[in-house]
Amino acid sequence: MLTLIGLEVGSRIIAYQPMSTSWRELQENGLATNISNSSGLHEFWGNGIKKYAFGNYGNRISLNSYKKSEPDNTNFQNKSCSYLILGDSFSFGWLVEYEEAFPTLIENYLNKNLSNNRSFKFTNAAAGGWGLADYPAYVEIFKEKLKKLNLNGIIVFVNLDDGRRAAISSLYSISKIDNIPLVKKGNKNFISKKVFIKKTLNYPLVLPIYNFSQKHSNFARIVKRLFLEKTIDIDPRKNPVENRSRSLYFGEQFKINSNLSKDAKLKIDRSILDLKEQTFNLAPLLMVYTGVLPKEVMDPTNRYIFSTEFKKNAESKGIKIDFSTLTNQKLYPSSYEIKYDNHPNAAGHKIIANHILNSQSENSLRNFVKNTCSN
């Protein structure tokens, strides 16, 4: 007992690790989604601890709704319009409250200013690390459930790294891509030691024990990170010389003038094809860029999304595109970012929401909801 106490106290002094309980689950097609009807804790250096709550669709919901056990997005009023939100950690609301995330701010604006005796309801299923290949995989898993929402539309918030994430995704195998009409369940690419461990940790009998250890024991957090990630987190506040923010802006790490590979382009194009096929007869699609960075600082794989070829390819499949939100400079200053992390803070999310709502494009989000919520 004294040894365990010593290890716990010593580890907290030498190498404190931010708290993070499980809020992700691995689906049968290999996609990691937010866990359904559950909650999780997330801590980051000097930014406090956030509690995330999730509903029936692996969607983030208000903590107030979660505490009150309110029904999750299934019993709408007759005059309500329902939209599914897909995106990455920006759309999810990484390290900010649910009410502060830009999709919630946009939803609130629509209900206040464009309601016209109707209400708008967003089901925000965005998840950290997602890119273009992950959106059709999510719809494949949740399609039958999503039908209960009677969706008026699906809004995909494209961010600065969606293309690269699709290009490196294991959801598609390039050697077999011509023979894969959709993302396949039971994909053999995901039978690995690491995946097996993560699935075991999310097993109903194991998960409560795992979460308890991650919440209360720093030593357990160190063991988990070493075992799964072969590394531990270093507190940037204790490294004033090397406390550069963790960069999400991949243009800083890639050769801007390098070429887009054929395989990367294949995966991105396949993602768009599957997104349309998976959502067929489900709801109209809109893709909107968050606008946070100009394409000039992105690597070629991410820049491809903003090319004329990509736009024509997506629009030929009936997907509306609003990339008019693309600017030639960064959308907000560093003071609007979470310290040491680069995700937007509450003020940054307001900037993103206003930027999207102010779009004058024919395919703007405002016009999209007006047209799909008119009947």
The answer to whether residue 47 scores a pLDDT higher than 80 is yes
Q: For the ranges 161-175, 231-245, 248-262, which has the lowest average pLDDT? A: 248-262
CA distance 193 to 214: 21
The tens digit of pLDDT for each residue in 215-251 reads 999 999 999 888 877 888 888 887 654 444 444 444 4
The answer to whether residue 261 scores a pLDDT higher than 80 is yes
The Cα angle at residue 40 between residues 39 and 42, in degrees rounded to 5: 150
pLDDT computed for residue 86 by the predictor: 98
The pTM (predicted TM-score) of the whole model is: 0.89
pLDDT computed for residue 78 by the predictor: 52
Could you give all domains of the chain from N- to C-terminal order, each with its CATH number? Answer: 56-187+245-372 (3.40.50.1110)
| 299 neighbors 260 (Cβ within 8 angstroms) | no
Mean pLDDT confidence for 275-300 = 94
The answer to whether residue 75 scores a pLDDT higher than 60 is no
The answer to whether residue 102 scores a pLDDT higher than 90 is yes
What Å distances lie between residue 102 and 6, 87, 139, CA to CA?
44, 11, 22
pLDDT band at 190 (very low <50, low <70, confident <90, very high): very low
Q: Of 87, 169, 46, 85, whose CA–CA distance to 369 is shortest?
A: 85
Mean pLDDT confidence for 188-212 = 70
**Residue type (1 letter), 319:** I
pLDDT computed for residue 58 by the predictor: 96
pLDDT computed for residue 369 by the predictor: 95
What percentage of the chain has pLDDT greater than the value 90? 59
Mean pLDDT of the chain: 86
The tens digit of pLDDT for each residue in 11-23 reads 888 899 999 998 9
pLDDT band at 283 (very low <50, low <70, confident <90, very high): very high
